[in-house]
Structure 1
């Protein structure tokens, strides 16, 4: 059984508080799925038909946070923490030689930076340009919630295959 320390989003909050708290809830869910596992378990390809690992999901989440909040929203010229592709997949999913502590540190740092980026905008209706079109801060938050929710489903299956722990 995993100790659930997540803060559940309010059922009556305004848009900003709802979206940011749902994103933080999804972030906390991914952390919870990884809690208590060894580095070897986090790197384990626990489902025979998939190359996904929990550590790969953490590294991917860090890269996605950096991409959307720093590169897209802030238009910063940032390098990816694990650049490029290996065998046709993003490098962050290749964790054989990855440093577990570094991955979690980068991910937590990117989450903190993302919170600061969102807080710097007066309105969720504010837009930035991305690939030639306007994208609102609201859209970015919703996209990130969707990104985490999808991968948290993967994380749930991986965790169950690793040690039998299940749960939301």
Structure 2
């Protein structure tokens, strides 16, 4: 069983090592999450450390799923910063360790972020993911609407350009 909890700013630094290991696992397993192979723990930790100011300001909210073995998954919500878009947010870095997949954890993380967004007054969520990926199937079956596909939008970890699907979900 996994406990999914928000990661407050004061605990963020202590979670970076585990978040970095999760990010490396995702890239090593071929997930298109913005990084190319080879991708190491130092580079992953540096990326997470760079997110600390956004976590501290509340413009980036992070949740972690833990079990007895540690962090098994994460999801983040970027809050829109412009005054005319405060009702909108973006889901980023939904990752589940390959040893924890197939148990509904990605759906649970997504539902957690959706509930928190709505409770914060954010009702329109956006995200993008690699077309024909497992993640895309999660969104397609989770009530998200695909509004477009851009060929060759982002490279897979091996550097091959891949199509990307763009989604939105109105939580109202």
Q: Which of structures 1 and 2 has the larger relative contact order (alpha carbons within 8 angstroms, sep 6+)?
A: 1
TM score, norm. by length of structure 2: 0.26
* Higher strand fraction (1 or 2): 2
* Higher helix fraction (1 or 2): 1
TM score, norm. by length of structure 1: 0.26
